[in-house]
Amino acid sequence: MGGVIVHTRDGGKRWETQNNGFTDRFFRVHFVDERHGWITGETGTILHSNDGGRSWTPQESGTEEWVLSVHFTSPQEGWAVGGKGLLLHTVDGGKRWERRQKLTEASLEGIFFLTPKIGWVVGETGLIFRTDDGGKRWDFQLSDTPASLTDVVFTSERKGWVVGSGGTLLQTEDGGKTWIPFRLPTKGTLTRILFRPPNRGWVVGEEGTLLMTEDAGKSWTPIDTGTKVPLWDLSMQGQEGWMVGDLGTILYTKDGGKSWAERDSGVTQRLNSIYFTSPARGWAVGKGGLILQYGGPATPPMQQAPAQAPSRTSDRTSEPSIPSKRPH
């Protein structure tokens, strides 16, 4: 059976589904503005929307590798990374994706551009690369960790953070020339990091982990999320925020992340990524071609998404050749 798109018009309390024909596992959803978005997944899958997520069209990536992350700096220029050192670039909104020089044979799991010229890529075995010329050249940066690095974010050309396995949180104040480890009360994999100016940041990870900073990363406070399932992504809009995880988990905050309540997603598949373009408009993606849409147009209810039986444990499994971040 094909995948589904799920719409809600009542704050996520009730979900309606429609068949979309996709069956791939989706790993990341990213919007550059309210109209232009991309979803990446296994076997080279890249989907594009130019109508605010109402419809999604496959793009030819030229690869069968898993595309684990995507980042656009404009509706035209973007980058994607994935398995076996995959690094893709487009300057026409994804009509044509060009494979760039291979930096490594290891999986690249996270990518972030501060400007169209300045960006970073992170991956397995502590890999960090930086470009300051729009990707013509990538320079290796020493992380001094063997951890698998899953995500990267910068708030200025000098100040940035990286997260990864084993509770890894690295911070730099010189653009990545040196990375300093931050001691945290967790050894689980940290999967995503997000900052909102001027000083607020969040990190999510395994066992329901959420860490929050309100002093620009000088200190991190554990927040009770009320769950022990792995959390894979979060998105914030002002004081409102959403997190997603295993077993169809969606958590919602209205106080900037200090307290969270569960929302009924209507599905039990793992949700890998979530992105909001406004407090009233967002998307989450996951297993089995699943796309959840918040604030979308009303649609007739159809057959519900194929569901896995709920359990008390995660559906996370291990595949040696694939990053531990998102095997499902």
SS3 168: strand
In terms of pTM, does the model score above 0.85? Answer: yes
Q: Is a pLDDT exceeding 90 seen at residue 136?
A: yes
Q: Is a pLDDT exceeding 80 seen at residue 56?
A: yes
Q: Is a pLDDT exceeding 60 seen at residue 299?
A: no
> Does residue 220 lie within any of the structural domains?
yes
Q: CA-to-CA distance for 3 and 17, rounded, in angstroms? A: 10
Q: At 308, is the pLDDT very low, low, confident or very high (cuts 50, 70, 90)?
A: very low
Peptide bond into 297 cis (omega under 30): no
> Does residue 245 lie within any of the structural domains?
yes
> Mean pLDDT across the stretch 96-110?
97
> Does residue 253 lie within any of the structural domains?
yes
Looking at the structure of the chain, the number of domains it has is 1
Q: Is a pLDDT exceeding 80 seen at residue 305?
A: no
pLDDT of residue 3: 61
> Mean pLDDT across the stretch 250-270?
93
* Parent domain of 270: 4-294
> Mean pLDDT across the stretch 75-79?
98
Q: Quick one: CA torsion of 230, 208, 28, 66, rounded to 10 degrees?
A: -30
228, 208 Cβ separation under 8 angstroms: yes
Q: Which has more confidence, 16 or 284?
A: 284
Q: Summarize pLDDT for 189-201 with one digit per residue, the tens.
A: 999 999 998 899 9
pLDDT of residue 7: 57
> Mean pLDDT across the stretch 92-118?
97
Q: CA-to-CA distance for 56 and 20, rounded, in angstroms? A: 9
Degrees, nearest 5: CA angle 61-32-107: 45
- Dihedral pair phi/psi, residue 216, rounded to 5°: 60, 35
pLDDT of residue 6: 59
> Does residue 283 lie within any of the structural domains?
yes
Q: CA-to-CA distance for 79 and 66, rounded, in angstroms? A: 14
CATH value at residue 25: 2.130.10.10
> Does residue 321 lie within any of the structural domains?
no
SS3 157: coil
pLDDT of residue 10: 55
Average pLDDT, the chain: 87
pLDDT of residue 307: 34
pLDDT of residue 303: 32
The closest of 321, 293, 316 to 245, measured between CA atoms, is: 316
Q: At 22, is the pLDDT very low, low, confident or very high (cuts 50, 70, 90)?
A: confident
pLDDT of residue 18: 41
Tokens of 104: 């490594």
Q: Is a pLDDT exceeding 90 seen at residue 68?
A: yes
